[in-house]
Structure 1
């Protein structure tokens, strides 16, 4: 039996940043399947979100799936997307297999400042909870973390940012700094923020373009022999990530700090 609390939460308006990406599209689909009828789909200006309206239930008479063009570096546009929502799923973050020409401008600043803009907008809009989509890349690689002596990775584990910088691994740098900034902001302002750190997300594509994690699988199938030091390449189904995000949004037990921060 579905509890009355769950039904109440299912009617809350929620915002999904990066809604037309790989994880974001699956999150929108799963929200629709779970009975959410007011969804603000935030997308990068000029990007294509037409496939979202082909998702099951997206065009039902009682559903309001609204697309907001919002660059996460533009606070005003982010606030417009978040206003009127009780929950925010922050998924948007730049990710590319190409080596960035300007790592700070292309990856680090959008990840960090974009996250802070989303949190500031959520605080202004009095959002109940923010679910931050972090990454296993905020936990590994770290050559100084020895599982034999320190045990399994947990909420105290962080990627070694300086190590990654020295090897031009800018995506882990961006995700680590963004998550740390989120926890600092949440603690300072007393916000209810939870985070999920999925490994490599794989599964069927809902969006028309190939995303970075699926491209990694494609490269492996095509015979790539690239190696990664001090890294752990696990995989998780994107559908499970979407379900976990919604569970985090609704679970009262996820509120508060677990160890150093609030993770799943």
Structure 2
């Protein structure tokens, strides 16, 4: 997809929904599904001691320079949404999940689940060297709690674990010792970020009890088996 094909629908689609909400007499609060991609790309130095939280904003210029259009689309869509919400008095909350894994309902694979499938199959290198992961069930619960909790406000990071590829592979090997796991990271890491932490404090304050990474990975693989994407 081209830059325009990714960015225009993200920004215009978000604004169209918000405009409809303003016209409605019954909508009290809007929950926007953003992404951790709108947090991580600030341009400031990061290392394993860095902890990303809700005060971090990706810099559109950094995203543009690196030609990471998905991350740019999420960043621009969030900026546009907050500008619109403030101008029009919309009570809005944004949710920022990392790589979303766990059991899935749709017949096709998302990028996130496909990354796990390729690791387990062992036939493709990983596009990521570092994983900031959250379970889809926690993402769903966060949306509900953000909607139902009167005091919920602003932005919420949603990342259960932020770990290197080696740790993800270690968990998968422990769960499925006979599988031919891929231990290769692609030559081009699409995120190109060092190891870092992500704060869970605000999300936990909303009542989110994060599903552990090992459980999420196991349930992802079991769902892939159930839907016959994996045969073993």
Q: Calculate the TM-score normalised by the size of structure 2.
A: 0.61
8 A contact 1:132–1:193 mirrored in 2: yes
- Residue 142, structure 1, aligned to residue 34, structure 2: no
Q: Following the alignment from structure 2 to structure 1, what is the Cα–Cα distance between the partners of residues 17 and 137?
A: 24
Q: Following the alignment from structure 2 to structure 1, what is the Cα–Cα distance between the partners of residues 45 and 18?
A: 30
Q: Following the alignment from structure 1 to structure 2, what is the Cα–Cα distance between the partners of residues 125 and 171?
A: 30
1:148–1:165 CA distance, 2 compared to 1 (3 A): same
Shift of 1:148: 8.0
Shift of 1:170: 0.8
- Residue 246, structure 1, aligned to residue 144, structure 2: yes
1:145–1:123 CA distance, 2 compared to 1 (3 A): farther
Q: Following the alignment from structure 2 to structure 1, what is the Cα–Cα distance between the partners of residues 82 and 68?
A: 22
- The correspondence for 1:170, drawn from 62, 69, 94, is 69
8 A contact 2:115–2:126 mirrored in 1: no
Counterpart of 2:110 in structure 1 is 211
* Consecutive unaligned residues in structure 2, runs of 5 or more: 157-232
Counterpart of 2:23 in structure 1 is 124
TM superposition outliers: structure 1 runs of 4+ over 6 Å: none
Counterpart of 2:13 in structure 1 is 114
1:139–1:239 CA distance, 2 compared to 1 (3 A): same
8 A contact 1:147–1:153 mirrored in 2: no
Secondary structure at the aligned position of 1:155 is classed as coil
1:151-162 aligned at under 5 Å gives the runs 152-162=51-61
- Residue 235, structure 1, aligned to residue 127, structure 2: no
Secondary structure at the aligned position of 1:254 is classed as coil
Q: Following the alignment from structure 2 to structure 1, what is the Cα–Cα distance between the partners of residues 97 and 9?
A: 20
1:1-264 aligned at under 5 Å gives the runs 100=1, 102-104=2-4, 106-126=5-25, 127-146=27-46, 152-223=51-122, 224-226=124-126, 233-255=131-153, 262-264=154-156
Secondary structure at the aligned position of 2:63 is classed as helix
* Consecutive unaligned residues in structure 1, runs of 5 or more: 1-99, 256-261
* Aligned residues: CA RMSD: 2.1
